[in-house]
Structure 1
């Protein structure tokens, strides 16, 4: 890292966000431009690569007008938009490029901001990953005979309790405790009688042996509020429990059945990237089966709406892969957020189907290269590397391309 760096220098390229894609972008551009990276975190080891680094808040530097372009590549869409607006307040002419997961929001912003553009890393990665299905298989640097191993025992993940149900139960328990204490002292009831009285009131089955007919006005008000709160809270608990049971039943019905297909593509990890991959595969006429470990995944409703079967299970284990038709699939694409999980899924898929094409999402570009060269993993892609390469091409091109304008292509 260069000494005595400050926001008052005159950088040609300003990058907000020392993320994987931000640092790869800086490394790509530092040979041609004076690059400044701004992030809240302390300087990473990569900052010694020759580009400047400043630990600061995500606010536009005062000399932003002297920059050739500004990139906002943090991991949060909201923060990237905020940075873009802050830069635009200081300069009406400097080009701004941000990363956005929600591309539809990006196109709407383009209508209102001049010299503004964006890329969607999930969309870019999805196109690259899907293209790998049709590309020729790269040669292996070294090939080792496959080893048939005993399948690991399947470990069921612990069931998660709905937080709303826990909160509702906590509220009703708190009401019972506080009411018991109040009536014990206010009505001179024994502790057991006070508990009995509160339970009968909360259940609205008062037997009349203990009543508030001759009690003080305050006690009557407390009793009225307790009954209303208890009935309301009980109805909420029943609704939440019913909703939870229905979701589990739907997951068992639609997500835990064996898929009977052949020549299809498995997509493991139905997140933002997985959804884009599924959409791209459907556009190309492929039959797709999704696999995800979460029965309540955020993007599962969209997958079901597209008519794509989704298997709920852990693809690190043979059962989930068999349920998804792995032995008869032509390709598997694993795009979970963990490198080792994707690697394990890819290797397990090769054991079930040695001829299947394997495409993995790998964050570490060095690991991705090694997997493609030395293991029977045909393609491994780093999403941040793909995004950084596209961003670098925007600023390296001469003259600057049409993407800087506010007109949608």
Structure 2
């Protein structure tokens, strides 16, 4: 049952009982107490209308059916709420036991992608999402997903921010992302903070707020658009702190065994995405058993490592 449907179901159930009490009081010549008793028992399936007129029996059957549907909607919602609360408590307990993890604020497309990439790198994460997200169940399979406003101290404490290594604030609101990073720095002065920012000018001025890295989406995307316009396979250069990385598309021209893929990973080469011949692009796990000729992969890593692994 959707939350918006539950109030309507409760109101309809109350209205049904009121009408039923009135009908039984008049049709069966009952006093108020007996009419209430008869209406309630009839709604729950205890039929006592054997000697009543036919139309009253039909009305009683309709009341039972409609009452059962409305009660089912309410009970389904209550069960869902109870289950969600239990899952939230379990996720909170998992988060409080974690150390050196990364807290992700926001579970939209960007937040979910960050969670998956960090999981691929072996970094544990805790996600805080204020609203419902279509990625919640998928993310919860790997990481605790908590509900709440990431700007609030209590929600960050639930996510174990004091023992976290970093926070990535990637909601779709600049103020929320900045506030989340500032609050995290108050609770954990040594934490590394990364904020997703839409305003280019704001991104350039956030160093004074104690935010280690403010990423402007338009600035990050500009290089990719230029590269795609000139050469879709051109190498994209990016920096992570003092580490200079290169990313580009590569077509595998030979069979690459699983052991060799693992060796690439140990040297620092990461497969970000892969598309085997005739198949759609998927996550790195889709080629965990190795690569076959014709597979398109997106790789990232230090330039010298990529040259050694891919070009000898």
TM-score, normalised to structure 1's length? 0.50
1:203 aligns with 2:44: yes
Whose RCO is larger (CA < 8 A, sep 6+)?
1
Partner of 1:166: 7
Partner of 1:269: 106
- SS at 1:227 equivalent: helix
Partner of 1:379: 213
Partner of 1:243: 80
TM superposition shift of 1:316: 2.0
Quick one: distance in 2 between partners of 1:177 and 1:388?
64
TM superposition shift of 1:235: 3.6
TM superposition shift of 1:380: 1.3
Q: Tell me if structure 1 keeps the 8 A contact 2:95–2:126.
A: no
1:213 aligns with 2:213: no
Say how many residue pairs are matched.
Answer: 238
Structure richer in strand, relative to its length: 2
Structure richer in helix, relative to its length: 2
- SS at 1:358 equivalent: strand
TM superposition shift of 1:249: 1.5
- SS at 2:205 equivalent: helix
Which consecutive unaligned segments of at least 5 residues does structure 2 have? 235-248, 250-277, 281-295, 297-312
2:187 to 352, 360, 376: 352
Partner of 1:363: 198
After superposition, the C-alpha distances for 1:56-88 in whole angstroms (9 at most, x for unaligned) are xxxxxxxxxxxxxxxxxxxxxxxxxxxxxxxxx
Deviates more, 1:334-343 or 1:252-261: 252-261
1:320 aligns with 2:155: yes
1:302 aligns with 2:138: yes
Q: Tell me if structure 1 keeps the 8 A contact 2:128–2:148.
A: yes
Kindly report the root-mean-square deviation, in angstroms, between the aligned alpha carbons of the 2 structures: 3.4
Quick one: distance in 2 between partners of 1:331 and 1:214?
72
Matches within 5 A, 1:6-405: 162-183=3-24, 194-205=35-46, 211=49, 213-215=51-53, 217-255=54-92, 258-293=95-130, 297-306=133-142, 308-372=143-207, 374-387=208-221, 390-395=224-229, 397=230
TM superposition shift of 1:212: 5.5
After superposition, the C-alpha distances for 1:104-152 in whole angstroms (9 at most, x for unaligned) are xxxxxxxxxxxxxxxxxxxxxxxxxxxxxxxxxxxxxxxxxxxxxxxxx
Q: Tell me if structure 2 keeps the 8 A contact 1:256–1:311.
A: no
Q: Tell me if structure 2 keeps the 8 A contact 1:292–1:310.
A: yes
Q: Tell me if structure 1 keeps the 8 A contact 2:88–2:145.
A: no
- SS at 2:126 equivalent: strand
Quick one: distance in 1 between partners of 2:233 and 2:116?
31
Given the superposition, is the C-alpha separation of residues 266 and 235 from structure 1 closer, same or farther in structure 2, using an over 3 Å criterion?
closer
